[in-house]
Amino acid sequence: MKKTIIILVTFCVFSSCGKVNVYNNDIWSPAVFINASPSVSGSLPQAGLHVFIDTFQKSLSTIAYRGGSGYISSSPGSRKVQVRSSIDLKTNFIDLGAETFTSNKATTYFIYDTLSAANQKLKTIRLDDNLTIPDAGFANFRFLNAAVNSLPLDITFLRTSVTPNDSITVTNQPYIGSSPNAANFSPFSRKLPLGSYTIKLKTAGTQTVLVTPATIVLPLYSSIYTFFAAGTAVGMPLSVGSIRHYP
């Protein structure tokens, strides 16, 4: 029996909402594109990104810095994937000639790194998305440090909606590097109890807070997130981004 899945992908710098995407999970191969590049941060000449698959524009709106495209459905097979400037829709920051799309398999293209006069291409890592519904009362998440000039980071999730407060810390997360292993970063292997959180980025192994704490409220239902660090280049400060993959 064919089933229709509705996925809400929310771009949050802990405040904004994103897109609803519908696809038939017996046929389509969905992918979400996340912009973690401070070089494409909302100012000219690189104001944002658009996704093209087999030369057709697939993104409905500009993918801003720390934003996501929402899941974009493609038919299975080998596809040419390009991520272009939102200014001229021609300049390719990502140009992938033969990407395999598989029925009922969701993925994330995580776009990062910086542009320069000598380098006009960004980097991307393609992650497998296991959208199995989390345990009741919990959110599953993964974390990537895409802040190119940062030292290793600890990210602390301080739950403020309970008394006394409790916390979970992901420790010693270095910059993911120029050739990261997708298998190491794909799993949504960490869990957070639902609630309201203050999120702190700290120098690994210390209590030195590097970013003014951000706040996020996890929905009252099981959910799936990608959290990431970005910035520390081209004048953009260290910051935290979040994409909600489900629901």
Where are the chain's structural domains? Answer: 4-246
Decide which of 12 and 52 is more confident: 52
Confidence of residue 54 (pLDDT cuts 50, 70, 90): very high
CB 102 within 8 Å of CB 155: no
Average pLDDT, the chain: 88
Q: How far does CA 19 lie from the centroid of its chain?
A: 14
Phi/psi for 184 (5° steps) reads -75, -25
Tell me the average pLDDT across 49-61: 96
d(CA 49, CA 42): 10
Residues 219-228: pLDDT tens digits? 988 999 999 9
Residues 79-133: pLDDT tens digits? 999 999 998 999 999 999 999 999 999 999 999 999 988 889 999 999 999 999 9
Strand partners of residue 124? 111
Query: Per mean pLDDT, which range of 16-30, 65-79, 125-139 is the poorest?
Result: 16-30
Distance, first Cα to last Cα, the chain: 21
Q: What pLDDT does 13 receive?
A: 38
d(CA 223, CA 14): 15
Q: What pLDDT does 15 receive?
A: 31
Residues 164-214: pLDDT tens digits? 999 999 999 999 999 999 999 999 999 999 999 999 999 999 999 999 888
d(CA 247, CA 27): 20
Tokens of 44: 């000219």
Q: What pLDDT does 210 receive?
A: 96
Model pTM?
Answer: 0.89
- Cβ burial of 91 (10 Å; 0-12, 13-18, 19+) is middle
Q: What pLDDT does 7 receive?
A: 35
Q: Is the pLDDT of residue 20 over 60?
A: no
Question: Is cis: bond before 247, omega within 30 of 0?
Answer: yes
Q: What pLDDT does 144 receive?
A: 99
